Amino acid sequence: MSSESMTANVEAIFGENVFTMSKMRERLPKPVYAKLRSAMQGGPELSRADADVVAKAMKDWAIEKGATHYTHWFQPLTGITAEKHDSFVTPPDEEGHMLMEFSGKELIMGEPDASSFPSGGLRSTFEARGYTTWDVTSPAFLKATSAGYTLCIPTAFCSYTGEALDKKTPLLRSMEAVNNQALRLLRLFGDTESKKVLTCVGAEQEYFLVDKDTYLKRPDLIYSGRTLFGAPAPKGQEMEDHYFGVIRERIGAYMKDLNDELWRLGVPAKTQHNEAAPAQHELAPIYENANIACDHNQIIMEAMKRVAIHHGLRCLLHEKPFAGVNGSGKHNNWSLQTDTGINLLDPGESPERNIQFLLILSCILKAVDVHADLLRQSASDVGNDHRLGENEAPPAIISVFLGAQLADVVRQLVETGAADKHIKGGVLKTGVSTLPDLVKDATDRNRTSPFAFTGNKFEFRMVGSADSIGSCNTILNAIVAEAFSDAADELEKADNLPMAVHDLLKKNFIEHQRIIFNGNGYAKEWVKEAARRGLPNIPGTVEAASALTTDKAVALFERFGIFTRSELESREEITYETYSKTINIEALTMIDMAGKQILPACMHYAGELASSVSALNAVGLSSAAETERLKEIVSLIDEMQGALDTLKKLTLKAESLKTDTIERAKKQACLYKDQVKPAMKALRTPADALEMLVDKREWPFPTYGDLMFEI
């Protein structure tokens, strides 16, 4: 197939399963279409009559494509999506004819059970009512599964008493906040044309693929998404040959089908490649409005798992499915753009003279410095604790990488009060006559930075691969909105605006320059230097959770109507609950695998080895090697049995704690973190050592080599 025909095919299928604006324009009366466009841009809500018209057009389109059911597709605090399917079928008429109907009421509002999702105490078990409400800014789409086509309507999810129980509602609130405050700054700089400032996001998604048959023989992968036991394979990623390597045929076929599905769903999937670890890969889309990007990232993760099944594979989204090789993250690229097409994070050719950009930059530095704990919390989950701080992901200490060019401009402003020059990129000479010289960027990149400026955007590199990007972008928008608001409050009352802007950006740079770090985030020296600067070093999820409910955080979120105190407290409690439940599942899985499979297999092998030693001794042959091997195996079996007994006791102890308050939920999470997790490690150590000694034919599970290389 030629490149031209391949391009034409993509153009033909892109968005075919999405109720796009063009489809709305074709199917809706002009007045209704105009009102819907207005509602999407923040105008008046649709009337029930107009909603009925939209619902009918949407239903007719879906039925033409083969759909029989619809669902309100939402994102509860589980971090994944949820859906309840209802058919378009209505009661038959008098002659027995079945009708297919879909009303505006059904489009606008649904009623799932709110007590069955995480609520952090906002909903009691007997208080079940919750509501989903249509998000007009995110287009409806058709999901194709073995159940057929289902019309999916993106919705927000709230409780009967009005609290947000999802990831979408706070994100939308935060987008409005940063839009309103950014416009205040733009008006001060004379921009009267821009009507909206959009948060734009592109999330790079890393993932692993393993063969289905080997996956199904690993209870730990099935129950927890990661390997709880496993000795390293003879080869890992040390040769660095998998990164950007040739994509295997089987994986290429998977990627092709994945791209086709995503393109049909309107997801602008662009980049695909092998990642650093064996069996690890990455997909990245083009930047979009943050709300759409968040929805699309959920669609991407769902599609990755679904398409993998059709190829005899399983997709692993856990942050650390294999010990000893790189885990998976999700780099969240974030920027601000006006509806007139201006990127507010573009420094231009002369950043030292771009005062608007410098002010915005200074405000972002202030936001990250003041709320480093919140930003750290937004990337915290039990799986990501295995990555952050290791030499594969940013450290747990929040810092900002600006690069040589911007760091030098900031230095000039701090030291002299003015910046009159900038570092230029120059030319990279290849030294080969047939190769062109290259125009270099003004600065290198820094893969160890948690929050790195990369030319015209910030890349928040800490987010875990399985996590929703809704949380981190809600936090980013909120903290930047506060910094913008503080700046606008000060500048709007200034008599001399240029001088006030100059003084404010210099003040911001001076007071918050400690957050700037362009060096090696993996270095031990940075930990000491960060402590000297007074930057927080929050090691994990349990320690980070309380950042949500500090007085500083509550004041921030209530100021812009993003969260109430009760909504924040609920999210803190859910964090503890989720952490405890996850570690408990992992501990119980280890207990099951160790007690029912690993120890019996090792004991059986030890028995056979003992018989062999006895047989050799009986005929007078030396068996020193086998005797020593047997002693080592028996010693490890004893060590493993002792560790198993300890893990059982500690798991029961943690399970028995009451968790009816935030304080008790935190206490339980701490017990799992401080006692159960070390006990799990103590059990794994002898088990992995035994894997290296026991005959492979006796070992009950596929090994790391089987999982990562045999696909």
Give me the DSSP letters along 582-613.
HHHHHHHHHHHHIIIIIHHHHHHHHHHHHHHH
Whether the per-residue pLDDT at 171 is higher than 90: the answer is yes
**Residues found in the chain:** 711
Q: Position 322: which residue type?
A: F
**Is residue 350 very low, low, confident or very high in pLDDT (cuts 50, 70, 90)?**
confident
Q: Residue range 338-359: average pLDDT?
A: 92
Q: In the prediction, which pLDDT does 125 show?
A: 63
**Is residue 1 very low, low, confident or very high in pLDDT (cuts 50, 70, 90)?**
very low
Q: What are phi and psi of 674, to 5 degrees?
A: -85, -25
Q: In the prediction, which pLDDT does 241 show?
A: 86
Give a three-class secondary structure readout of 322-370. CCCCCCCECCEEEEEEECCCCECCCCCCCHHHCHHHHHHHHHHHHHHHH
Cα 313 to chain centroid distance, Å, stands at 22
Whether the per-residue pLDDT at 4 is higher than 70: the answer is no
* Residue 368 and residue 375 in contact, taking contact as beta carbons nearer than 8 Å: yes
Other CB atoms within 10 A of residue 280 CB: 24
CA torsion angle 502 507 509 515 (round to 10): -160
Instruction: Match 């609130």 to its residue by tokens.
Output: 173
107's tokens: 């489009």
Distances (CA, A) of 387 to 243, 321, 324, 383, 492: 18, 11, 11, 8, 44
Q: What is the pLDDT of residues 626-651, one digit of tens each?
A: 889 999 999 999 999 999 999 999 99
Distances (CA, A) of 162 to 82, 131, 158, 566, 665: 19, 9, 6, 11, 24
13's tokens: 């299928």
Whether the per-residue pLDDT at 251 is higher than 60: the answer is yes
Residue 74 to residue 298: CA distance in whole angstroms: 10
Whether the per-residue pLDDT at 711 is higher than 70: the answer is yes
For residues 239 and 204, which has the higher predicted lDDT (pLDDT)? Answer: 204
Whether the per-residue pLDDT at 99 is higher than 70: the answer is yes
Give the list of residues 6+ apart from residue 674 with CB closer than 8 angstroms, or none.
none
Give the list of residues 6+ apart from residue 389 with CB closer than 8 angstroms, or none.
395, 396, 539
Q: What are phi and psi of 536, to 5 degrees?
A: -70, 145
Whether the per-residue pLDDT at 440 is higher than 80: the answer is no
Residue 503 to residue 496: CA distance in whole angstroms: 11
Strands 130-134 and 148-159, bridge-based pairing: antiparallel
pLDDT averaged over every residue in the chain = 93
Q: What are phi and psi of 227, to 5 degrees?
A: -80, 120
**Is residue 2 very low, low, confident or very high in pLDDT (cuts 50, 70, 90)?**
very low
**Is residue 603 very low, low, confident or very high in pLDDT (cuts 50, 70, 90)?**
very high
Other CB atoms within 10 A of residue 246 CB: 10
CA torsion angle 339 342 344 345 (round to 10): 130
Q: In the prediction, which pLDDT does 91 show?
A: 74
Three-state secondary structure call for residue 88: coil
Q: Residue range 139-148: average pLDDT?
A: 92
419's tokens: 């910046």
Strands 280-285 and 269-274, bridge-based pairing: antiparallel
H runs (alpha helix) in 189-289: 212-215, 219-224, 249-264
Give the list of residues 6+ apart from residue 485 with CB closer than 8 angstroms, or none.
181, 184, 559, 560
Residue 298 to residue 433: CA distance in whole angstroms: 48
**Is residue 6 very low, low, confident or very high in pLDDT (cuts 50, 70, 90)?**
low
Q: In the prediction, which pLDDT does 415 show?
A: 84
The answer to whether the pTM exceeds 0.75 is: yes
Concatenate the DSSP letters of all residues of 21-33 into one string. HHHHHHHS-HHHH
Q: In the prediction, which pLDDT does 349 show?
A: 86
Q: What is the pLDDT of residues 527-558, one digit of tens each?
A: 999 999 999 999 999 999 999 999 999 999 99
Residue 209 to residue 277: CA distance in whole angstroms: 11
Give the list of residues 6+ apart from residue 281 with CB closer than 8 angstroms, or none.
206, 207, 208, 209, 251, 255, 272, 273, 274, 275
Q: Which long-range contacts (CB under 8 A, 24 or more apart) does 628-637 make?
A: 629/693, 630/606, 632/693, 633/602, 633/605, 633/606, 633/609, 633/690, 633/693, 633/694, 634/606, 636/602, 636/686, 636/689, 636/690, 636/693, 637/599, 637/602, 637/603, 637/606, 637/686, 637/690
Whether the per-residue pLDDT at 100 is higher than 90: the answer is no
**Is residue 8 very low, low, confident or very high in pLDDT (cuts 50, 70, 90)?**
low
Sign of CA dihedral 259, 292, 303, 389: positive
Q: Residue range 483-493: average pLDDT?
A: 97
Q: In the prediction, which pLDDT does 483 show?
A: 98
Whether the per-residue pLDDT at 3 is higher than 60: the answer is no
Which of left, alpha, beta for 121 (phi over 0: left; psi -120 to 50: alpha)? left
**Is residue 7 very low, low, confident or very high in pLDDT (cuts 50, 70, 90)?**
low
**Is residue 625 very low, low, confident or very high in pLDDT (cuts 50, 70, 90)?**
confident
Q: In the prediction, which pLDDT does 442 show?
A: 65
Q: Nearest Cα to 106, choosing from 69, 66, 144?
A: 69
Q: What are phi and psi of 581, to 5 degrees?
A: -65, -40
SS3 content of the chain, % helix, strand, coil (to 5): 50, 15, 35
Instruction: Match 């490690």 to its residue by tokens.
Output: 681
* Residue 283 and residue 272 in contact, taking contact as beta carbons nearer than 8 Å: yes
Whether the per-residue pLDDT at 127 is higher than 90: the answer is no
Angle, alpha carbons 321-327-328 (nearest 5°): 100
Q: What is the pLDDT of residues 282-330, one digit of tens each?
A: 999 999 999 999 999 999 999 999 999 999 999 999 999 999 999 999 9
Q: Residue range 77-90: average pLDDT?
A: 91
Strands 148-159 and 67-73, bridge-based pairing: parallel
Q: What are phi and psi of 473, to 5 degrees?
A: -75, -30
Share of the chain above pLDDT 90, in %: 78
Q: Nearest Cα to 484, choosing from 578, 402, 361, 398?
A: 361
Burial 195-215 (b: 16+ CB within 10 A, else e): ebbbbbbbbbbbbbbbbeebb
Q: Residue range 127-154: average pLDDT?
A: 92
